[in-house]
Each structure stands twice: as C-alpha cells, then as structure tokens.
Structure 1
Amino acid sequence: MITIQHPVSFSADYPLKRLGPADNLLFFDIETTGFSPASSSLYLIGCIFYDSSAACWTLIQWFSDSPEAEPECLEAFFSMTREKTVLVHFNGDTFDLPYLAGRARHYGIPFDLSHTESIDIFRRIRPCRKLLGMDSMKLSAVEQFLGISREDRYTGGQLIQVYTDYLTSQSPARLHLLLLHNEDDLKGMAAILPVLSYPDMLRDGGTFSESRLLSPEETESFGESPVLQMDFTGSWHLPVPLSHTVSGAKLSFRDSSIRCLIPLYRGCLKYFFPDYENYYYLPAEDMAVHKSVGAYVAKSARKKATARTCYTKKEGLFIPQPKRIWEPEFREEYGSPVSYAAWTPELLSDPEKASDYLKLLLEQI
C-alpha cells in the first residue's frame, strides 16, 4: 500500500459547522474497478480531514499498489473513522459505504460504522430536484447548476484501464494521474457544498420581516386579484437565485431572503360550524343559526342543519392557507381542500404564524 498525505487548500462557501465540528468531519471518495464488491476491487480511498495539530486541512490517500494491498487500504480507512465520525460524501450511502462494507466482509475485516454519521450530499439535495429544476442529480449536473467548470479528462472506465496498466508497469505517471483524479474529486466536494443551502432553506424556512398589499396594477400576472407580498430572511445563503410557484403563490429565493406573492381571494366564503346538531338551516337566508335562536323561527322556514348546510357567509378578502394557521377557517364549500382566513393586516401581527405559513408552502415543493 502507498500512503500519500499532505496539506491541501480546502475552502467551502458553506458553513461547515452545519455538518459538524471540523475535527469530526471526514470527506471521502473511493475508486474501484467496478460497481459490485463481489466481482471487482478497491484500489484507492481518498480523504480530506482537518488536522487540528497542524491547524490545516489535510489530504490522505491509500493506494493499493498491488491486489494484495487492498485489505490494508480498508483497515486504514476504518481506523480513521474511529476518530473522524462525520462522513461526508456524494452518493456514498448508495455506493461507497456498501462497497467498502462488501469488500471488508470479503476479507473478513471487522468494521463498525454505527458510531458515525453519514452525510450524503446527493441524498440531502434529492428532495430539492423540482425546486432546482434539474433533470439529473449527478455530480456533473450539480456542478453545472452551480456554475462550476471542471474538466474531467477521464471516465471511471478509462481510469480502471489506467490502474490495470499501472499494476503491470508501476508507472509513476499513471499513479500520479489516479491520485490527482481522486484529489480533484475530493476538492470538488467542497465546491458543491453550497448546494446544501437549498435543503437547509426548505427545512428551516425563514423569519418574517415585512408585508405589503399590492394592487392588481403592480402584479399583472395575477389578474385582478389583490396580492399579498410577504418577505422572509434566513440563516442560509443560496448560491443561485430561483423562483417557484406552489398553490398559486409565487416564491422567489435570492441570497438569504424569500419573497412570497400570494393572490388573495375576493368574494363570499362560508364558515362551517362544527356542531351542526345544535343548528337550524334557514333556506331563505341561506345560513344556519343556533337552535336557541332558530326556536323563534317558523318551523316551515327552518330545517335541521347538516354538516354541509351548517354555515354562515362572509364577504371580503381572504388569504388561502394549505393547513389551518389562522381562525376562523372559511371555505368555498363543505369539504373544499383549501381553507381561507379573512385578511386583515393584523393577521400578520404574530410573526411566528407568518413563518409557519411559509413552511407550509415550502413543504409542498
């Protein structure tokens, strides 16, 4: 086994403390001769970690310079995970970690990763696929989304041939090529970390800052409906501005802010009383009244209310809400999926409820 270790420049435009303490982080990537641990072998494991004694980020690579050296590489990696317990990778939950486990079992090497935390960048951003507008979530697609230009001269299949040639020739040039490719992949992991700001944003939401009621003239794309503008700020920072429409609302994401444009409903909606057994429905007035009041109405002018007819009506402006945040709730008809709250500026006097409203919208992305 050949071990290479030296300091590297490793800076990320993303707060690493969101992943864990720097001393615990271990960024890693593996190189193999195939996809199945049953019919291929591991020839390189590369890691970047923070060396607190030297106060710098350090690259370490374990290279299998012969087929017999593979178990040493595995043992060296598992030994490091006893101290570095936060494993950061791209698609490692699906490939790298199961592959390492399979090769360890092949050699009868004991290992235990139950004490580690696995942070798979691919898995974290996958729920954001619709928001990011990406057809593919491959590493190259993520780099393209972030505007990262990285020329990868060799495919995985070509590198397998380079490794095969190395085993025969022991060529330093081929070794350098294999090590450099792995190092570039690891450094590239730091470059794509800002993409994690999108799942951070969807999870954390934002803090309500201000609102404004816009006239139809200011928002032509919404037709004649008045539009409520709500602004939020967050502790995350998005590398690429985006916009998305959900439940009729337009959300714009930029830097550390979210702007929501929510078309309000103007018209007549119904509030349905929950205890309809205690109400009469008055067909002429198209409304329900409590039995204590309905007792004074002629029997011919009243009916026992049902869940569908036990309502009172209200005219005005209403804000749609995917789930109940503000009360009372109004609906177009009984059982309508969307509920509304009567709009008044005081509705947003509680900033926590405004932030809860944003989270409901983000959950639908």
Structure 2
Amino acid sequence: MIIRHFPVDITLGYPLAKKYNADKIAFFDIETTGFTANNTYLYLIGCIYTEGSSMHLIQWFAEDIREEADLIRNFFDFIKDYDILVHYNGSGFDIPYITKKCEMFQLKYSFDNIQNLDLYKIISPIKKIFGLKNHKQKSIEEFLNVKREDTLNGGDLIGVYQSYLGKKRIENLKKSRNLQSTEDVLIRESENLLHFLLLHNEDDLKGLVRICPILYYIDLFDREFQIVQASVNNGQFIVHLEYDFKLPSRISFGNECIFINAYQSSAIIYIKAYEGEMKHFYDNYRDYYYLPEEDRAVHKSLAIFVDKEYRKKATPATCYTKKQGVFVPQYHPVLNPYFKFKYDDKVTFVEVHTDFLLQEENLTRYINHILNYIINHI
C-alpha cells in the first residue's frame, strides 16, 4: 500500500464550519474498478482536511487488489477524529460501496458516527438553475471556473489501474529474478500510470473543496436579503435584492412569469404584472347580496337599502368587489387581500400599490414566496 501525505495550496471558499457547526471537516473520494462492490475493487481512498492554517491531502493506494481491507482500515482510523465528511454523491456511491466492502471483509466499521454532507444531494433541488447538461462534479467545476490538471474520467482509470497492476507484477517478477535490463523501463511505466491514478483522485478532492461555493446558490433561496428597490416598469414588477455573500458565477433562470438574474451579491427578480380589473372574493358570502346591475356584492347591512328586485343572495362565485390596479401573482395566498379573475382560479394576485411597496415585511414575505415557488417551476 502506498500512502501519500502532503499540504495542498487551496482554500475553502464557503464557511462550512459556521453553517454546519462542525469544527473538524474532511473531504473524501474513492476510486474503484466498477460500480458494484461485489465484483469490483477499491484501489484508492483520498481525503483533504485542515491542519493548522493550511489544508492537507492524504491518499491510500492499493498496489495489489489484496490490500482493499488495509485501505479501509486506514481510512476509518483517520476519520474517527472528524465530525463531518464532505463528498459529492457519496451517499449514492462511495459510502454504500465502502459499507458493502466492510461487510465482505467482516470489518466492523460504519459511517453512523460521522455527519455526512453530500454536495450533490444538497444542490439537487435547485440544479435546474445552473442550466448544465449534467450535474457531475466536473460540470459543477466548469460552471465555477475550477481548473484541473487531470483529463481522465473514472471509467478511463479502470484500464489504467489494470495496466498498472500488470506492469507492477512484471516489475516484481523481474526483481525476483534479478533481471535488470528492463526493470528501469518498467518502473518508469508503472510510475507514470500511478501518477495518472493519483492525480485524478487528487484533482477530484481539490475540486470538491473548490466547488463548495456552489452552496451559496442554496443561500440565494434560504438566506436573508435586503430589498434595495422595487418598482413596476413595462409590465413587470422588478425587485432588486442584496445579500451578504457573493455568487461566484452568474445565473439567469425562470419561466414565462418569473425570471431571476443573479451575480455576486445582487439578484434582480422580474415578475410579470397584470394591469387592469380584478376581483376580490369575500369568504363569508352568506352575509352578502349580489347587485347584478352594479356587478358587485355588498354586505347585507347595506343591502337592506336596495330594492329586492335589484339584489339577490350572493354565491361564492358572485360575492366579490372589483378593483382597478396593477397586480402580481402569488401561488399560495400568503398575503391578503388577494384578487382573482374568476372564483375557481388557483392563482391569486396581490395589488402593487404604494403601501405595498413601502411595507417591507409584506414585500419580503412575498419575495420569499416567489423564491420558494420558482425553484420548483423552472
């Protein structure tokens, strides 16, 4: 087994320890010869962690497929001092794979006593906002302009590892027979293959640290914001927001009704507005009369002054008053009073008037509602 341990010149660009209340954080990634633990091999485990004021990387590499159990023992002995394990889709692959290997080798290790932070799982609810063809770690790295030296993928490395084992086996055989003529060439070949294997895992780990700022895009929907400006212009309700963090890459996303453009510490939300007449429906329709001539409902305390031939008992669909104004949609009735086109409409509207724009609490509630809605409807 080869163990590499060295400092790496990277910094964590997101305050994980502050958000997740974890002082000891380790990033990890594994390399295997396939997806199914039963009939493939685990040949490399790597971790990045903080020591003092710098970050360090450690790797355990199997020079022989019979060293799988030793890799696992070293890994669990290392992480026992950590509170949180950060990975990318480790919940879907790395952790189940190692757990299965523990069962196969009858090793009494588990991930039960350490918190797991799966970046892939965390960003999955909002992944559509990035507009990527897929959401593999390398795609997230490209989105965040993270550069890597490695050009291979996990599938490529299966053949590389198999070649490494073959070269190493021949190398050892030559050594045992004292055949020096080709030994140096074989060593150079095996070391070259080893370099590619270790580099891929190293870049995966460094990339894992460097893509942590992707979590700021979750904060776009969860963290507090300041409303800098809100106005109606050209049929749109436009709201400028400021945050206390910075998005590393620009995003633009939305649908036909809502569009968001965000970069650095700012976000602009464009919401399609309707200007015209809408109806406010009263809940207690039994207390109202409908006036057909005026096309509105009035409370029965006032209806007694209207001749019976000009009034009739209101129904849920006729118990309304009309209003001219500028309105924006809300997809759950979070603010009152709200308006509709028809009684059976599911989408309601709120009027954008001066008081609404000046009532910061209600405006904030409305924007939070829009942010919560849009991530599920893009």
Q: Taking structure 2 as the reference length, what is the TM-score of the superposition? A: 0.86
Structure 1 residue 326 corresponds to structure 2 residue 345: no
Is 1:284 the counterpart of 2:289? The answer is no
Distance 1:328 1:253, change over 3 A: same
The one-letter amino acid paired with 1:99 is Y
Whichever residue aligns with residue 247 of structure 2, its letter is L
Q: How big is each residue's C-alpha offset from its partner over 1:136-179, in whole Å with a ceiling of 9 and x where there is no partner? A: 11223222322334353333233223322333433333333322
How many Å separate the matches in 1 of 2:112 and 2:361? 37
Q: Distance in 1 between matches of 2:141 and 2:77?
A: 31
Structure 1 Cα separation of the partners of residues 369 and 202 of structure 2: 41
Percent identity between matched residues is 37
1:79 alignment partner AA: D
- Is 1:15–2:34 an aligned residue pair? no
TM-aligned CA distance change 1:174 to 1:130, over 3 Å: closer
Q: Which amino acid in structure 1 is aligned with residue 74 of structure 2?
A: A
In structure 1, list runs of 5 or more residues that go unmatched. 217-224
Q: 1:264 aligns with which of 273, 283, 289?
A: 273
Partner of 2:31: 31
Tell me the CA shift for residue 18 of structure 1. 5.1
Q: Of 149, 155, 158, which aligns to 1:157?
A: 155
Give deviations 1:294-343, integer Å, cap 9, x for gaps: 22322222211111011111122223322334321111110212222222
* Structure 1 residues 23 and 289, CA gap change in structure 2 (3 angstroms): closer
Q: 2:339 and 2:231 mapped to 1: Cα distance? A: 22
In 2, the alpha carbon distance for the partners of 1:22 and 1:343 equals 44
Q: Which residue of 1 aligns with 2:184?
A: none
- The one-letter amino acid of 1:207's match is Q
Task: Mark the runs of 5 or more structure 2 residues left unpaired by the alignment.
Answer: 169-189
Contact 2:292 2:310 in 1 (8 A): yes
Q: Secondary structure at the match of 1:266?
A: strand
What's 1:114 paired with?
A: 112
Partner of 2:248: 239
Matched AA of 1:284: E
- Structure 1 counterpart of 2:261: 252
TM-score, normalized by length of structure 1? 0.89
The CA RMSD measured in Å over matched residues stands at 2.1
- Cα 1:166/1:19, change in 2 over 3 Å: farther
Is residue 327–residue 351 contact of structure 2 (8 Å, CA) maintained in 1?
A: yes
- Supply the distance in 2 between the matched residues of 1:153 and 1:147 (Cα, whole angstroms): 15
What is the Cα deviation at residue 46 of structure 1?
0.3
Alignment correspondent of 2:185? none
Equivalent residues in 2 for 1:218-237, closer than 5 Å: 225=235, 227-237=236-246
For the residues of structure 2 that align with 1:157 and 1:318, how far apart are their CA atoms? 54
- Paired residues in the alignment total 353
Contact 2:239 2:270 in 1 (8 A): yes
Structure 2 equivalent of residue 177 of structure 1: 196
For residue 317 of structure 2, what is the aligned residue in structure 1?
Answer: 308
Residues 246 and 361 in structure 1, CA contact (< 8 A), matched pair in contact too: no
Shift of 1:25: 0.9
1:243 shift after superposition: 2.0
Partner of 2:183: none
- 2:231 and 2:299 map into 1 onto residues whose CA distance is 38
For residue 9 of structure 1, what is the amino acid of its counterpart?
A: D
- For the pair 1:273 / 2:258, whether they are aligned, the reply is no
Kept in 2: contact 1:43–1:70 (CA 8 A): yes
SS of the aligned residue for 1:70 comes to: helix
- Which secondary structure does the structure 1 equivalent of 2:275 belong to? strand
Contact 2:22–2:83 (8 Å) recurs in 1: no
Distance of 1:164 and 1:253 partners within structure 2: 46
Question: Relative to structure 2, which stretch is displaced further, 117-126 or 148-157?
Answer: 148-157
| Cα distance in structure 1, aligned partners of 2:278 and 2:155 | 63
